[in-house]
Amino acid sequence: MSVRDVIHPGGSAIGLWCTIPSPAAAELVARSGPDYVVVDQQHGAVSPGELLAMTQAIHGAGRPALVRVGSHDPWVIGHALDLGADGVIVPLVDSAAEAAAIVSACRYQPAGRRSWGRVRGTSEEEPLVLAMIETRAGLEAVGEIVATEGLDGVYIGPSDLSLGLGAHPTPRIEHAVVLDAIATIRAAAEGAGVVCGLHCLSGEDAARFAPEGFSMVTAGADGGLLRAALAAALATARGAG
């Protein structure tokens, strides 16, 4: 299944996030029914070898595999793609120049600076390239960022965006200044005809935002969801006793 069949302007994909460095866990996440799965190398504990196995497991379950890379470094971006990612989500993009640089890191010469050398994957489709808007600078430059040639869209990180706007990150997206910023980013992406994604920590928040016109909404990460499910099971068991 092509990643662009799932994630595209005007779509409404619901996905999940993997932070646990395990192909078995990634397969469980992928088989639970999301439209896409993102492996987190920025804040997750995922090594290159584990990433290779995790993308294989996600693809084996019939789902597109994206990677949130750890930096703008072209080698980091290219390596994630070489290990099987269908696309990358790049954190902390503050300007159109930075957006153009990450697009270049995803494209082979002469269009970009990606080096040839894939370990797995044979698709000739260009990888999906998403820039994270999660700072005040990124918010202020969002009009120029979404107009970047070759950029497929933007992905909102509300926790860091909260910090950048003087608020404290919360489990539910609730600060008025952050909600206003999210609406501004979504409108800019819609006007440019590109993807707009939103990161949520729970299915409840994902259900709240999904009808608002986002191309993709993440409904949480494996670690947090597992912890919540285990705590709920223990609370039920102890209450029953």
What pLDDT is stored for residue 45 in this prediction? 87
What whole-number distance in Å separates Cα of residue 57 and Cα of residue 134? Answer: 29
What whole-number distance in Å separates Cα of residue 102 and Cα of residue 143? Answer: 17
Length of the chain (residues): 241
What pLDDT is stored for residue 240 in this prediction? 60
The token pair at 211 is 């009808």
What pLDDT is stored for residue 110 in this prediction? 94
Claim: this prediction has a pTM higher than 0.85: yes
Q: Which of 43, 59, 72, 168 is catalytic?
A: 43
What pLDDT is stored for residue 117 in this prediction? 84
Q: Which of 66, 116, 113, 72 is nearest to 90 (CA)?
A: 72
Active-site residue, 43 included: yes
> Where do the domains of the chain lie?
3-235
What whole-number distance in Å separates Cα of residue 165 and Cα of residue 135? Answer: 8
Q: Write out the chain's pLDDT in tens, 241 residues.
A: 789 999 999 999 999 999 999 999 999 999 999 999 999 999 988 999 999 999 999 999 999 999 999 999 999 999 999 999 999 999 999 999 999 999 999 999 999 999 998 888 656 789 999 999 999 999 999 999 999 999 999 999 999 999 999 999 999 999 999 999 999 999 999 999 999 999 999 999 999 999 999 999 999 999 999 999 999 999 999 996 4
Question: Percent helix, strand, coil in the chain (nearest 5)?
Answer: 45, 15, 40
Q: How many CA atoms lie within 13 A of 22 on its CB side?
A: 8
Contact by Cβ (8 Å): 146, 188: yes
> Rounded to the nearest 5 degrees, what angle is found at the Cα of 45, between the Cα atoms of 102 and 210?
65
Please name the CATH architecture into which domain 3-235 falls.
Answer: Alpha-Beta Barrel (3.20)
